[in-house]
Structure 1
Amino acid sequence: RAIKHVKESIFTSEGGVRRGVPKVLVVLTDGRSQDDVNKVSKEMQMEGYIIFAIGFADADYGELVNIASKPSDRHVFFVDDLDAVKKIEEQLITFVCEAATATCPSVLMSGNTMAGFRMMDMFGLVEKEYSNVEGVSLEPGSFNSFPCYRLHKDALVSQPTKYLHPEGLPSDYTITFLFRLLPDTPQEPFALWEILNKDNEPLVGVILDNGGKTLTFFNYDYTGDFQTVTFDGPDIKKMFYGSFHKVSSLVLPLDHPWPLV
C-alpha cells in the first residue's frame, strides 16, 4: 500500500510533480509485502517512473527485483541491516542522481528501463485524455494492448518542447511511428513529427508525402546548415497502402551523418 500511496498522494501536481522532469522513487523494506506490489510497480514503470529497491533483514530479493526498474543490477540493492546501507550509499546516490537529472525520462521496453518516452502519452493520446484533443477520435478494436487513434484533417497535436525535450534533443535518438494511411489521407506532404521554433519555423522533423510516396527526414546541424534525406525505396512505398506500418528513424552523431529508416 505504501507504493500505491506514494503514486496517488505524493507524485501529484499538488505535490510538485512537473511534466518532463524524471520521477524517481527509492523503496526501502525489511520484509515481504502483504499486498500485490508487483502490479502497482509495473504500472508506475510503464508510466515512466524509475524505481530503486533496497532490501535488508527479512526482505525477499525476488520481490525487490519485481518492484524495481530494470536492469536489476542497477536498481536493486540488498544489505544485512539498515546500518549497512552506508556500504552502498555512494553507488546508490550516483545511480539516483543520474536518473533524476537525465535529459530524457525513462520508459519500460521489452522488460528493461531505458531512456525515452511514449509520445502518444505526452501528447494526450490516451484513453482518459484524447477527447480533449481537437481532431482526434478513438478507433476501437484496432489492437489488443494499445489503443489506436484517428487523426482527422483538422488535427494538430502539439505540446511545448519544455515538456518533452527540456534539455533539447540528444546527439542520437530514435523515433518510432506505428500508423496506417486511410484512403482519404491528403496527397500533400505533411509532418508525422516535427519541432518548431518560437516563430513556428520547422527545425527538425519527418515528412510523409502521400502523393510522391516518399519519407523525408530534415534538420539543422550544429553549424546551422540544413540537412535533408529522402527515402523512396520499395519498402517505403509499401507504407502508403492500407495496412499498419512501423517505421523507426535512427539519428546518429556526425560520424554517422544520415538517419536510418
Structure 2
Amino acid sequence: FSYRAMLLWSVWSVILLLTTVDAAEEEDVRAGCSTAVNDLVYIIDGSWSVGVSDFDTAKQWLINITSQFDISSHYTQVAVIQYSDTPRLEIPLGKHQGVAELIKAIRSISYLGGNTQTGRAIKFAVDHVFASSQRGNLVKNRIAVVVTDGKSQDDVVDASMEARAQSITVFAVGVGTEITTSELISIANKPSSTYVLYAEDYTTIDRIRDSMEQKLCEESVCPTRIPVASRDEKGFELMVGMNIQTKAKKIPGSLVSETAYALAASTDITENTREIFPEGLPPSYVFVSTLRLKGISSKLSFDLWRVLSKDKAIQAAVTLSGKDKTVTFTTTSTTEKEQKAVFKTGFQVGTLYDGKWHQIKVLVRHRQVTGFLDDQRIQELMLKPVEPIYINGETQVSKRRGTDITVPVEIQKLRLYCDPHQSERETACEIYSFFNVLQGDRGEPGLTGEPGLPGPKVRLGEQQSHGRFE
C-alpha cells in the first residue's frame, strides 16, 4: 500500500508540474528593459573633489536611471557602493525589493569625502558585492557603472580586468575636466564608444541620462551582435533568426556581391517571439529592410515585419500600403491597445512598388519615430509612452494585414539594431550604382550603368558588378 501510494503521489506530482508549466506558458508574458534580470551595481565617487551638492546631484541621476527597471527579486537587483579612500557598501545587492524603497535608500546615502581609490572600489564590487548575489546562474546580466570626477590614486587596470574576466560589464562615466580618458577606457568594456560616457560637470550630468538608460537597456535585452564592416553592432539579424535563409529561395541581390531571398506564397516565415526577442525590445532601435516588390499589386497592404501576442494583438509592426502610399509603424501603448505612426508620403512610398530594390528604415526613440526610404527622411512623428511587448506569441515576416497569408517579396536585408545611432551609419548604398555614388549622384535606386557610355541602364545582377560600395 505504501509503495502504491508513493507511486500515485509521484504521478500526481508530475501531472501537477506539467499543468503548472503549461499554465505559465499560456499566461501573457511581457518582456523589455524593465523586466530584465540584472545585477546592477553603482560605484559612485564620494571623494573631496565632488562636494556635497554635486554628490546629491549624482544620487538623483542614479534614481532617474534606476526608475526604468522593475526592482524585485525576479528582475533587477541594485547595489550602491560609495568610494573615496575605502569603498563603503551603501546598499547591498537585492536588499530593497521595490523602486520606491530603493529610491528612499539612495537619497539617504551620506557623503564620505576623502581621496580617490577607484581601483579598490571596483575590486570590492567584484569580490564582495557581485559575489554576494543569491540568484547564481539565474542572473543574465551583471553590470557595474563606475562614476568618477577625477584620476584614481590607485591602479584600476587589474581590478577592471578581473571584473571583465568574471563576465561583469563595466561602464565608466567621467564627470568634469579632471578625468583621464585613458583611465576611463581601461576601466570600461570595449568598445569605449559604447561603454564610456562623459559629462561636462554634475550640473549637466542629466544630459547623458537618456544615453545611459539606452545603453543599460541594450545590455539587458540585446544579447547578440551583427557583424557590420569592421565592427559588431548589438542587434538582431532577422534574416538568420527568422530562418529566411533556409526557408526561402536564394536569388541575386542588388549587387553581385549581395545575396537576397525570394519568399513565395507558400513560404511561411513565422517563429516564436521568445526565440527571436527573448528579452523583448529595447526602448530605442532601428529597423532596416532592403527589399524588392515585383509583381505585387500597389493596392496591397501587408506587414513587412510584425510581432504578435498569443491573442494576435500587434506588439510591433512595419506595414506597407501601396493604395494609401503609407508606411505605418505600430507599437504598444500604456493607455490604449496599440498606437500607430502613419508616414503619409504620397508618391515617395508609391515607388516601393516599382519592382526595384529599396531600403526602408524606421528609427524608433522614446517619444518619436522617424521613417526613411532610400536614405531620404520621410517624416518624424511623436509616440506616446510604450510598454514591454508580449513575448509568448509569434514574430512574422511579409504577411497580409490580419491574416497568415504570405505576400511574395524579395528580401536582401532584415535587421533590428539596438543602437539608435546606427541609423546614421546604415545607408542605402547597396541599392545604388557604384559609379553614380562615386560621382556624387545616386541616380535611380536599383539601377546601374557604365558612366560616360551611351545605352540603357540595366539592373544590378544582370551584369558584372564593378565593386561593392559601403
TM bucket by the smaller chain? 0.5 to 0.7
AA at the equivalent of 1:178: T
SS of alignment partner, residue 223 of structure 1? coil
Match of 1:118 among 237, 240, 244: 237
Instruction: Give the deviation of 1:87 after TM superposition.
Output: 6.6
AA at the equivalent of 2:162: E
- Which aligned pairs between 1:45-84 and structure 2 lie closer than 5 A? none
- Deviations, residues 113-170 of structure 1 (Å, cap 9, x unaligned): 22112111111122xxx2xx2xx32224653333211112233311111111111111
Match of 2:169 among 90, 95, 100: 95
Instruction: Give the deviation of 1:172 after TM superposition.
Output: 0.6
SS of alignment partner, residue 236 of structure 2? coil
8 Å contact from structure 1 (residues 250, 260) kept in 2: yes
Greater relative contact order (Cα < 8 A, sep 6+): 2
Match of 2:343 among 228, 231, 235: 231
| TM-score (normalizing by structure 2) | 0.33
Higher helix share: 2
Match of 1:107 in 2: 226
Match of 2:329 in 1: 217
Q: Pick closer, same or farther for the CA change 1:150–1:87 going to 2, 3 Å.
A: closer
Q: Pick closer, same or farther for the CA change 1:221–1:137 going to 2, 3 Å.
A: same
Q: Give the Cα–Cα distance (whole angstroms) in 1 for the partners of residues 310 and 243 of structure 2.
A: 22
8 Å contact from structure 2 (residues 290, 358) kept in 1: yes
Instruction: Give the deviation of 1:86 after TM superposition.
Output: 6.2
Unpaired runs of at least 5, structure 2:
1-156, 171-188, 190-215, 373-470
- Which aligned pairs between 1:12-31 and structure 2 lie closer than 5 A? none
Match of 2:266 in 1: 154
Q: Give the Cα–Cα distance (whole angstroms) in 2 for the partners of residues 137 and 125 of structure 1.
A: 9
| Paired positions, count | 169
Q: Give the Cα–Cα distance (whole angstroms) in 2 for the partners of residues 226 and 252 of structure 1.
A: 16
Q: Give the Cα–Cα distance (whole angstroms) in 1 for the partners of residues 340 and 325 of structure 2.
A: 16
Q: Give the Cα–Cα distance (whole angstroms) in 1 for the partners of residues 255 and 331 of structure 2.
A: 33
RMSD: 2.9
Instruction: Give the deviation of 1:215 after TM superposition.
Output: 1.3
8 Å contact from structure 2 (residues 307, 314) kept in 1: yes
Q: Pick closer, same or farther for the CA change 1:87–1:222 going to 2, 3 Å.
A: closer
Pair 1:260 & 2:371 matched: yes
Match of 1:248 among 361, 377, 380: 361
8 Å contact from structure 2 (residues 314, 330) kept in 1: no
Match of 2:280 in 1: 168
Instruction: Give the deviation of 1:199 after TM superposition.
Output: 1.7
Match of 2:255 in 1: 143
SS of alignment partner, residue 148 of structure 1? strand
SS of alignment partner, residue 238 of structure 1? helix
Taking only the aligned residue pairs, the percentage that are identical comes to 24
| TM-score (normalizing by structure 1) | 0.56
Q: Pick closer, same or farther for the CA change 1:87–1:199 going to 2, 3 Å.
A: closer
Q: Pick closer, same or farther for the CA change 1:222–1:106 going to 2, 3 Å.
A: farther
SS of alignment partner, residue 166 of structure 1? coil
8 Å contact from structure 1 (residues 213, 240) kept in 2: no
Whichever of the two has the greater Rg, that structure is 2
Instruction: Give the deviation of 1:184 after TM superposition.
Output: 3.7
